[in-house]
Amino acid sequence: MSGITLRAGDTRALVLPDEGGVAAELSVGAFDVLARTPWAASARPAPVPAEDEATWVGRWRGGWQLCFPTAGAADPDARPRQGFHGVASQDAWTVRRVGESSAELAWADEAGLSAARRWSIGAGTLGAVTTAVNGGADARRIIVAEHLVLGQDVLAHLTEADGTLGIQASGTLAELDYAGNPTGRATAWPGHGWDRANRSTPARVAALQHPVPRVITVTGPHLRATVSWEGLEHALLWEEFGASREAPWGGAVHALGVEPTSTPHGAGTAHPGGIVELGPGESMTWATRLDLQVTERTTLTRPVKGERR
C-alpha cells in the first residue's frame, strides 16, 4: 500500500490519493485512531465507481475520506453517474503538492465539478480544508460529507464488560434508518442515550442538526477525540460495534463515524431534503479538524503481525 506519509512529532497520517484521497491511517504515539476494516490489507482501487453499498464497503479500508458529490445511494437519474457515497470517495485524486506535514489533492468529473483538498497534520491533530467548484454549464445538486470514522484504540476498550465511551455534542438529533433515510423522529441532544456508547449499543445512525458550536467530542479511557468543523451545517453519527451480522458487515466492523455534512441524512441527492444546489461558477469551502488528546498513558498489548485485533 503506497501513499503519502505526513508527520508532525509523534503524529503520523497515511493518505492514499488513488483511493479517494483517504487518510487511511492516523496515529498519535502508540495509539491508532481511525477505523480499519478486517479486509483493509486486500482492498484495492477499482477502475469504476461502486454503484451500491456492498461494493463500496468491500473496497473500504476505513479511515477518513470525502463523500462527494453525494453521500449514500446514488441518484439513478443523475448525470454524470454519482456512485455510492460519490465517485470522489474512492476515485483517484491528483497530487498537486506534498510537504512533510501537508498534501494538496484535486479531483474533477467530466462535467466540470471539482474539489481541491488540503490535508495538514500537527501534533495531535489532522485537518482537511476543501473547496468545491462547479465549473460546468449546469447547476449541480450535491451533498458533502466528511466520512471521518474513528476506531482502533479509540474503541478498543468497548470489548470490556464495562467499557464506555462518552460523547458530547449539541443540537437536534434526527433519527435515520441504517440506510441513512430520515424516519421523521427528532429530539434534542442526547436523545435516547447517544451521549454514551458501549458494546451493547445497537448499530444505528442519526443526524445532528445545527449543533452550536460545531464540535463533537468522544472520550474513552485512552484517547479524547474532538471533531470540529466550519462551512457545513450538520453532522452524521454512525455507531457500529460489531452488531451488524449481515453482509457486508459480518459482525467484524467496529466503527464510530463523526461525519460533518451539508445534509442531515444519508439518503443521497434523490431525497428532496437538505440538498445543496451549486450553480455554474459557484463554489463552497469547508474545513474539518480532528484533535486528539491522550487521556491515559497506557501500554497497549499489540497483536502479533498478521493477526487481527
Domains and CATH numbers, the chain: 4-294 (2.70.98.10)
Predicted pLDDT of residue 302: 45
pLDDT tens column, 234-283:
999 999 999 999 988 899 999 999 999 999 999 999 998 999 999 999 99
How much is the average pLDDT of 120-140?
99
How much is the average pLDDT of 201-207?
97
Band the pLDDT of 1: cuts 50, 70, 90. low
Q: How many helices (H) and strands (E) does the chain have?
A: 1, 22
Helix (H) or strand (E) holding 53: helix 53-58
Q: Side chain identity at 58, as an amino acid letter?
A: G
Q: Residue 74 pLDDT more than 90?
A: yes
Q: Residue 301 pLDDT more than 70?
A: no
Inter-residue contact 146 to 288 (CB < 8 Å) = yes
Cα–Cα separations (whole angstroms), residue 281 to 79, 111, 233? 18, 12, 22
What's the mean per-residue pLDDT of the chain?
A: 94
pTM equals 0.94
d(CA 232, CA 132) in angstroms, rounded, equals: 13
Predicted pLDDT of residue 32: 97
Percent of the chain clearing pLDDT 70 (strictly above)? 95
pLDDT tens column, 17-46:
999 999 999 999 999 999 999 999 999 888
